[in-house]
Structure 1
Amino acid sequence: MRSRRLDYSESTRSALVNSAVELFTKRGYASTSLDEVAKRARVTKGALYHHFSGKQALFEAAFEKVESRVFGRLEEIVGGSGTPWERALAGLREFISSCLDPAYQRIAIHEAPVVMGWERWREAEDRASFGLIRSSLEDLIEAGEVDEVPVEITARLLFGALHSAATEIASSPDPKKVGAQIEAVIVQLLHRVRRT
């Protein structure tokens, strides 16, 4: 049986992370204070420090929340029904759609590499996105949809291309237009490597 204290602690932490996601999305890391996060979450600053050692730890929790939402949807698609080809295309479309989300753009694409540092950010991205890309590629090869290729290297190249695509979308004054163009180009390229 769970204690009230544990429930309260989890709800406080969740409120702080949700508050941080909102504020970091609107104002960015540098322009958001811990006082504002605590106030928006309706908790004391002491409660914030009970859960997080500081602003960077709070940012990493916000990053994790944003990333896990995207990763959860992608994992569901990639592991779902349909052929490996259909799942790969649906996963691509979902990823591009995720890149249109302001929280994902600001926190995961623009700010995380700077706030977390390149190495930590890349490790976090590897844990989430890279594994899905590699497993999708393995499924496509196993199903005979694409030719046999070195999986690790090809997955790394695809990962790099998708990261560049995300940056282009997030940096564009017209993200929807750029997202549609990127999707069209990647689908075209995928059709060229597909076995017929």
Structure 2
Amino acid sequence: MAETFKTRRAEYADATREALLDAARELFTSQGYQQISLEAIAQKARVTRGAFYHHFSGKTDLLDALVVALQADAAARVRAASAAAQASQRVSAGIAAFLDVCSEPTYRHLVLETATAVLGSDRCREIEEASTFGLLSAALQAQAARGSAAAKNVPLAARMIGRMICESALLIDSAEDEKAFKADVQRIVKHTWDAVTAGPRTKA
């Protein structure tokens, strides 16, 4: 099998793109998307304006790539947390991991607060379905395949459960006891999950 390798130019291009994403992540989180210029991002990344436009068509395109990366990382963390837990605890572990991700300043500000206004709801849903919400949907689909999912519209159920977690994360800062608040969220979401996956009830 031929060895796959990158040229120095390709490696430099990848490094430049990552530097721009890292710079944007830091600046957008600390100062806000609207307040940051392309020049500030390029300067932070130590690249030229021309290098910026080689990778991104503009600030919106950069935010799109950043949200995709954040969602992919969130999905990987949820997947890892679920895989590391015992079978009976995988759903709870996944819920807890997703809530933790949603609570982080960068994810909360860029994905939950900024993305919809800048990228539009349709694009945000597309990104979610390919990452975090896609995991929820796949888990519910697996339940449906075993005949134990009560929800007829699995994508809708997955979206509603995912949105519960995201919306709850926006309230964490105002909670008097963050640990207790997260525990409450996890219980509520788990009860909802159990209700969706309980299967059809038999009549007495």
> Which one is further off, 1-10 or 54-63?
1-10
C-alpha displacement of 1:184: 2.1
- RMSD (Å) for aligned C-alpha atoms: 2.4
Q: Percent identity?
A: 28
> Which one is further off, 99-108 or 130-139?
130-139
Residue 34 and residue 188 in structure 1: after superposition, are their counterparts in 2 closer, same or farther (change >3 A)?
A: same
Residue 178 and residue 149 in structure 1: after superposition, are their counterparts in 2 closer, same or farther (change >3 A)?
A: same
C-alpha separation in 1, matches of 2:193 and 2:121: 29
Q: Does the aligned pair in 2 maintain the 1:23–1:37 contact within 8 Å?
A: yes
Q: Does the aligned pair in 1 maintain the 2:151–2:157 contact within 8 Å?
A: no
Counterpart in 1 of 2:79? 75
Counterpart in 2 of 1:49? 53
C-alpha displacement of 1:178: 3.9
Higher RCO (Cα < 8 Å, 6 or more apart): 1
The 3-state SS of whatever aligns with 2:6 is coil
1:11 aligned onto 2:20: no
For structure 1, the 5+ residue unaligned runs are none
Residue 81 and residue 15 in structure 1: after superposition, are their counterparts in 2 closer, same or farther (change >3 A)?
A: same
For structure 2, the 5+ residue unaligned runs are 200-204
C-alpha displacement of 1:172: 4.5
Q: Does the aligned pair in 2 maintain the 1:168–1:178 contact within 8 Å?
A: no
1:120 aligned onto 2:119: no
Q: Does the aligned pair in 2 maintain the 1:70–1:98 contact within 8 Å?
A: yes
Matches within 5 A, 1:87-102: 87-102=90-105
C-alpha separation in 1, matches of 2:86 and 2:184: 25
Q: Does the aligned pair in 2 maintain the 1:78–1:136 contact within 8 Å?
A: no
Greater Cα radius of gyration, structure 1 or 2 = 2
* Matched length: 191
